[in-house]
Amino acid sequence: MLVIDHRRELQRRADAERAAGRRLALVPTMGALHAGHLSLVDEARKRADAVWVSIFVNPTQFDEAEDFEGYPRELESDLAVCREAGVELVYLPQVEDLYPPNSQTWVEVSELTRPLCGASRPGHFRGVTTVVSKLLLAAKPHVAVFGEKDFQQLAVIRRMARDLGFDVEIVGAPTLRESDGLALSSRNVRLGPRARQQAVALVRSLDSAEAAATAGERSVAQLLEGVRRELATASQAEIDYAELRDAETLELIPDTIAGPTLLALAVNFRSDPDGRGASVRLIDNRVLLRSETE
């Protein structure tokens, strides 16, 4: 497994692989790799001859310095995981490689970034789209794989790639979950034991909403009332947002759902009363009535 930390070296390697007729897949990550990331590698493997992984904790997508500093960094473990998974190359860019001194250029998608995480985290998606565009230009992949757990991020990156004409296929892979249903996330390890138990309220609320919609409930107010009622069972949870939006445009649905509808959640879980764990923001989602277009 090759480990490369300079953009120009990576570009030369990508040019050589393309000239040899090999199809490249990139899985961009921020490290602290878990089984969810490995499922992205597996998806990439189905679509390419070589799978590359990038590991970079991108400073421009964090709205709080404390969150950036506290993000888990486990490089040696991550490299071992990649090697075991058969990843051919890992790109470890330095900050100055992706953001040269006095950088003035940003990539920004306008409308899709306004709601949901964009409303509560100003500038977050500008950081995401800027760094992803830089990674795509560095690795020159034919396909890039992202998780559907970050549904809005996936939608934004797809729009960016389409609008700017990136010659890359953007693929979304299904969310991988722990045995109790909680979506796998690098942030889960920061939860205190009690908060971790309560975090399952996220998936319970999604399940209840999906069951209600399948049974015929179409009222936005009723569906969201059930979601909030389920989340209220977690005493350490504070809802950032719980919204029903069009699964394609992310436009808010005011009254009744009809066809595929995104139920998007973001919930802050406070540290345990005994001080264990940290305050952690978790997101999750479910597309209701997805089968109506299948």
Is residue 160 within 8 Å of 132, Cβ to Cβ? yes
Largest Cα–Cα separation, the chain: 58
37 carries an active-site annotation: yes
Q: Select which of 6, 34, 37, 142 is catalytic.
A: 37
The DSSP secondary structure of 179-212, one letter per residue, reads TTSPBP-TTGGGS-HHHHHHTTHHHHHHHHHHHH
DSSP 8-state class, residue 177: B
DSSP string, 24-56: EEEEEE-S---HHHHHHHHHHHHH-SEEEEEE-
Which tokens belong to 268? 């802050």
Non-local CB neighbours of 247 within 8 Å, separated by 6+ positions: 260, 261, 262, 287, 290
Match 């919930």 to its residue by tokens.
Answer: 267
288: tokens are 């209701």
| Measured distance CA(278)–CA(294) in Å, rounded | 41
Instruction: Retrieve residue 289's tokens.
Output: 């009535």
List the catalytic residues: 37
